[in-house]
Amino acid sequence: MMTDDRLLDGVSIKQFSTERGIQATLHLGDCIAGMRKYIPDGSVDIVVTSPPYNLGVNYKGYDDTQSREQYLAWMGEWAAEIKRTLACDGSLFLNVGSKPTDPLVPFQLLDVMTEHFKLQNVIHWVKSIAILKSEVGDYPSITQDAVVGHYKPINSKRFLNDCHEYIFHLTKHGNVEVDRLAVGVPYQDKSNVSRWANGDGDLHCRGNTWFIPYETIKNRDKQRPHPATFPVELPSRCIRLHGVDRAGLVMDPFLGIGSSAVASVGLGARFVGFELVQDYFQESCERLAALIDER
Ligand SMILES: C[S@@+](CC[C@H](N)C(=O)[O-])C[C@H]1O[C@@H](n2cnc3c(N)ncnc32)[C@H](O)[C@@H]1O
The tens digit of pLDDT for each residue in 41-57 reads: 999 999 999 999 988 88
Amino acid at position 254, single letter: F
230 CB near ligand 1 (under 6 Å): yes
pLDDT bucket at 191, cuts 50 / 70 / 90: low
Specify burial of residue 19 (Cβ count, 10 A radius: 0-12, 13-18, 19+). Answer: exposed
Residue to mutate (ligand 1; options 13, 254, 280; most atoms within 8 A of CB): 254
Q: C-alpha angle 222/50/236, rounded to 5°?
A: 80
What's the average model confidence in pLDDT over 193-198?
A: 58
Q: SS3 of 175, please?
A: coil
pLDDT at position 294 is: 82
* Domain count for the chain: 1
Mean pLDDT of 219-232: 79
| Structure confidence at residue 139 (pLDDT) | 84
Q: Which of 235, 238, 274, 258 is nearest to 81 (CA)?
A: 274
- In this prediction, residue 199 carries a pLDDT of 54
What pLDDT score was predicted for residue 140? 83
254 pocket-lining for ligand 1 (C-beta < 6 Å): yes
Question: Which atom of ligand 1 is found nearest the CA of 49?
Answer: 6
Specify the pLDDT at position 14: 94
Pick from 243, 246, 198, 256: nearest CA to 61: 256
Separation of 279 CA from ligand 1 center, angstroms? 11
Sequence-separated (6 or more) residues with CB below 8 Å from residue 8: none
Q: What are phi and psi of 193, to 5 degrees?
A: -60, -50
DSSP state of 266: H
Q: Which of 232, 264, 275 to mutate to test the pocket of ligand 1 (most atoms within 8 A of CB)?
A: 275
**Which residue has the CA at smallest separation from atom 26 of ligand 1?**
256
**192 falls in which pLDDT band (50, 70, 90)?**
low
Give the residue numbers spanning the domain of 29.
2-294
Q: How far apart are CA 237 and CA 221, in angstroms?
A: 30
